[in-house]
Homo-oligomer: A and B are copies of this chain.
Amino acid sequence: MQLLKDAILAKGRVDSEDILKVDSFLNHQIDIQLMNEIGKEFKERYKDEIVTKILTIEASGIAVACITAQYFGIPVLFAKKTESKNLDAETYESRVFSFTKDKYYQIRVSKRYLNETDRVLIIDDFLANGSAALGLKEIVVQANAKLVGVGIVIEKGFQQGGKILKDQGIRLDSLAVIESMKPGSIVFKP
């Protein structure tokens, strides 16, 4: 998606530790116009699929998931990373490792909102090692729902997440795939 790649090149900053900062438009400050174009693109790609629910993970997946859900006309469900009195006792759970936060955490989804009638599109802002996407997929499996695909805004193509998902037969749509990056230089996969 050219508009997204242009934004990454113009506003993304590559720091040490393989961190791509896109906090000016994606995961701290959010460019809502760009999110809308991203949402339309996901809808275009899944226009021939029946999707009943968009599943994401707090916090930075919520923005793109909600804007995208408008084009599908379906609800969003976001997995919670923290214990909360607001969450039901009956949950699907899995474990995710965050490299940006350098720790494991449990993610939880109430059993009330996902079941075997659902056809789920997972949406997230980043795909790197694939831990979050696999954790969300595990929740879809526990619910006996159907995983239609995984939609990602930015995939770090030099990490293993994309390969792992595809090797499991999961449909993956990444709107921008980074082949390599270093401070001052970001190269996309053709």
Contacts and interface: CB of A to CB of B under 8 A. Distances in A.
Interface of A: 15, 17, 19, 21, 23-25, 27-33, 35-36, 58-60, 62-63, 66-67, 69-70, 73-78, 80-88, 100-102, 109-110, 112-113
The 5 closest A-B pairs by CB, nearest first: A58-B59, A59-B59, A62-B62, A30-B76, A29-B113
A161 to B, nearest CB: 17
B32 A76 contact: yes
Contact of A28 (B29, B78, B81): B78
Number of copies: 2
A32 to B, nearest CB: 5
B28 A75 contact: no
A58 to B, nearest CB: 4
A86 B100 contact: yes
A28 to B, nearest CB: 6
Contact of A31 (B28, B36, B75): B75
A20 to B, nearest CB: 9
Contacts of A88: 21, 23
A116 to B, nearest CB: 17
Contacts of A19: 85-86
Nearest to A80: B28
Contacts of A17: 85
A151 B103 CA distance: 34
A56 to B, nearest CB: 10
A109 B24 CA distance: 12
Contacts of A21: 86, 88
Contact of A86 (B27, B75, B81): B27
